[in-house]
Amino acid sequence: MPNNLNVNNPGDDNGHSSKPIIAPLFNAQSRTRETILDERRQLRQQFGDLFDLIAQLLFRFDPIGINNGFNTDEYELETSYILPQLNRCHSADDVQHMVYDVVLASFAGVENAGQESQYIQIAEEIWRLWQSYQPS
């Protein structure tokens, strides 16, 4: 797991700018399991079912290939990085870039994360969920 996630804000020729959308989030060695679980509880309280819906969506699409059928919490860490950044996204394309960058950073590279184009349907569904979550 990386010590810092530096996920970029969509914008340049590659869909990314140099301005981070996610600041350094954690030092893996200093976070206890209880701290991580507490952060997830807080996100669930803040976002309600949206946390679980996005984690389930990632598990269903399984962009990394780690779905063994029983490890349903496998993408909760990525969900905890994705959710707070959705308010900075203006389209499914923005979500695609951000989600891909989160997965890329979490799973140490393209050889694990695959190509960004594989994240189109994931992003579209997350964007739809996010839009339905937003108050009218």
1 domain-assigned: no
57 domain-assigned: yes
75 domain-assigned: yes
2 domain-assigned: no
With cut-offs at 50, 70 and 90, classify the pLDDT of residue 114: confident
Q: Which domain holds residue 65?
A: 7-133
Task: Give me the amino acid identity at 69.
Answer: G
Checking if the pLDDT of 3 tops 70, the result is no
17 domain-assigned: yes
Tokens found for residue 11: 């914008």
110 domain-assigned: yes
Number of domains in the chain: 1
**Runs of H (alpha helix) within the chain:** 33-47, 49-61, 76-82, 92-106, 110-113, 120-133
54 domain-assigned: yes
Checking if the pLDDT of 122 tops 90, the result is yes
